[in-house]
Structure 1
Amino acid sequence: MSVAAVANDRVRLPFTFDVEKMKAEVKTLGMNEFIYYNVIPLRAPAHQVDPSLPLPPPADDYADGTWTEWLNIPAMASTPYLTSIIDKFQEHTRVTLVRVLRLAAGNEVKEHTDPTLGLEVERSVVRLTIPILVGDEVDFFLNGTPVPMQPGECWYLRLTDPHKVVNGSTTDRINLTIDMAPNDWLRNLIQKAATND
């Protein structure tokens, strides 16, 4: 990948995670009944995790996640490896929303943009993507070109740009996504990875 690709839109970060451990723990989270797209939150706004907590006050801007505290869901207690991945980033910046996303075989996510998911946006969060299960015919298109993400890799994608997912395989596609506040550590990590590609 050229340095132009960050200005570009995609950067593979220098982390590799254990795919078999992630697959085993995802199975414990109960991804059973679903139609074509399944979302399991692993970290969510505090009041959604613990209903006894008060609702956060209204905010003018929800984009960067500062409007509430964020907690791991109780089921994370049974997924120590996934928890360790979240903790790895939490050591350096504020981690907000974390989810497991499953797209059924033969389905797609239509092209769209996420206006607050990019380094270049003021008051945003950055979403990192870690593929867990990817069939041969799964394509994640960003700005019209596929991103060659493989299981266990960790990617920054500029999701303020148009993107879509096409699962032409006979197996589900499963990703772990981690949203976090951009700071100097994260910006430097992404820039260094981009210049090394």
Structure 2
Amino acid sequence: MNRFLKLPLLFDPDELLKDLRACETMEWSRHFHTDDYSGLWSGLALRSASGKADDIYSHPGSAGYIDTPVLGLCPYIASILGLFECEIESTRLLRLAPGAHIKEHRDVHTGYQFDVFRVHIPIETSTQVRFLVGGHALDMREGECWYADFSQPHSVENCGATARTNLILDCKRNDWSDTLFRQVGYDFAAEARSSRLDRATRTMVIAQLSEMKTDTAERLIKQLEAEADIDE
């Protein structure tokens, strides 16, 4: 049930597109996970850990995120950020070119149960974009706002003739977001039941978190190791 949720926020597609067009002449960086996709997948940072527009790595849990100069070109997107009553970490425009394919993978740190959440706001898309999360199709339209648990296996394929560009926000969970998620049916009881991982999955998650070297990752590692001690 918590695989993905349409949040009760709707934005003006024309204003989003206007901001996007203001960024078209800038240099977009190829996505850093080069083994995870074929074709062209590129991005531009509006907020990043370094304050640089070409720093499209999400750096989850890093202390301090800075607006990049690109955000100054996007007044409507800046107003959207002001509506989120929680800490916003990275903010990116990510574009998947026609014919490009993001292979199935997991982002183990990006689920609400990890106290962080990633939302997608499509700016340009089509019915030919195939987005799967946990084996289920996620159909997003321009201006909508969606949460998905990207710690589950997910993939995207752009089978259309035009680019798919989404605004993507990484946010920290708080009381405001709990209220928002409760409004759209997030199952907090299911979250509690599924919070305990099996031994193999726990080992895999700890290994991936160890590579991140952030305060949030260290906290999650300690939590998982404590669960392992209880289970044993």
Query: Do the two structures share a fold, i.e. TM-score over 0.5?
Result: yes
**Secondary structure, in 3 states, of the residue corresponding to 1:111?**
strand
Cα deviations across residues 83-133 of structure 1 (Å, max 9, x unaligned)? Answer: 1111211xx111010000000011110000101101112xx4211110111
Aligned to 2:61: 64
SS for the counterpart of 1:81 is: helix
Quick check: 1:126–1:181 contact (8 Å CA) kept in 2?
Answer: yes
Q: Which of 11, 15, 18 pairs up with 1:17?
A: 11
Relative to the length of structure 1, the TM-score reads 0.81
Listed one character per residue, the Cα deviations across residues 30-72 of structure 1 (whole Å, up to 9, x for unaligned) are: 3567661111000011x4449xxxxxxxxxxx6423xx21111
Query: Unpaired segments of 5 or more residues in structure 2?
Result: 31-38, 54-58, 187-232
* In structure 2, distance between residues paired with 1:87 and 1:73: 16
- Going by fraction, where is helix more abundant, 1 or 2? 2
Structure with the larger RCO, 1 or 2 (CA within 8 Å, 6+ apart): 1
TM-score (normalised: structure 2): 0.69
Map of 1:185 onto structure 2:
176
Q: What does residue 44 of structure 1 align with?
A: 48
CA RMSD of aligned residues (A): 1.9
Aligned to 1:105: 98
The answer for the alignment partner of 2:129 in structure 1 is: 138
Q: 1:70 to 1:63 in 2, by over 3 A?
A: closer
Q: What's the secondary structure of 1:128's corresponding residue?
A: strand
Q: Which runs of 5+ in 1 are unaligned?
A: 51-61
Identity of aligned pairs, percent? Answer: 30
For residue 45 of structure 2, give the secondary structure of its aligned residue in structure 1. Answer: strand
Shift of 1:74: 1.5
